[in-house]
Amino acid sequence: MENVFGKKNSHNKFSWENLGDITEGRGNLGEDMPVLIYRLMQYTMLDVLSEGLGPEEANEYFRRAGFLAGTAFANNMLDLRVEFSLFVSDLQKKLKELKIGILRMEAFDYQNGDITLTVGQDLDCSGLPITNETVCNYDEGFISGILYAYSGKKYTVREVDCWANGDRVCRFEGTVGE
């Protein structure tokens, strides 16, 4: 299998099981890691992808990776069989527990599936300098993947407000469709 730069990959394709037993492997250090280190990995990876592919294509790869992660997260960490309000409550608890962010549901249209939600204290951007842009492309994919795992419907999720453009929460709008 080739990667986006046309080189052969020597590692396995993603699967939840390949994340390993973190408790066993990090017995002394534990599961926690500073947000700074997570962002260091994320933003250097985005820089390298942007350099090789261009910024728009790099952002799209981040969305695709987020979608894969969101789908796996939902399938392995959430109860997908409960009714919608219980699902959202479970998702809120899990995102807060894992220190990913504080989810708030602003609107959900039961007719067409359109959704608006916010994530406060977002792992990806809260505290970033203001650059007048939205930067949470990975989160767009992550939320889209979670919604897909729950509903079986493809969602397009886009960030409309972001810490990096001067807001205090990240606001995402999702629509069902291609």
Q: Where are the domains of the chain?
A: 16-176
Architecture of the 16-176 domain: 2-Layer Sandwich (3.30)
Is the confidence at residue 1, as pLDDT, over 70?
no
Among 96, 97, 138, residue whose Cα is nearest residue 121: 96
Query: Per the structure block, which two tokens stand in for 166?
Result: 């001067």
Q: How many CA atoms lie within 13 A of 84 on its CB side?
A: 10
Percentage of the chain exceeding pLDDT 90 = 88
**Structure confidence at residue 49 (pLDDT):** 97
Task: Report pLDDT for 13.
Answer: 87
Using CA atoms, how far apart are residues 55 and 137, in angstroms rounded to an integer?
Answer: 11
- Nearest partner of 146 among 81, 80, 86, judged by Cα: 80
The 10s digit of each residue's pLDDT in 29-76 is: 999 999 999 999 999 999 999 999 999 999 999 999 999 999 999 999
What DSSP assignment string belongs to 89-147?
HHHHHHHHHTTS-EEEEEEE-TTT--EEEEEES-TTTTTPPP-SS---HHHHHHHHHHH
Cα dihedral 109, 102, 20, 79 sign = negative
Average pLDDT over residues 165-170: 95
d(CA 108, CA 153): 15
* Residue 170: pLDDT over 70: yes
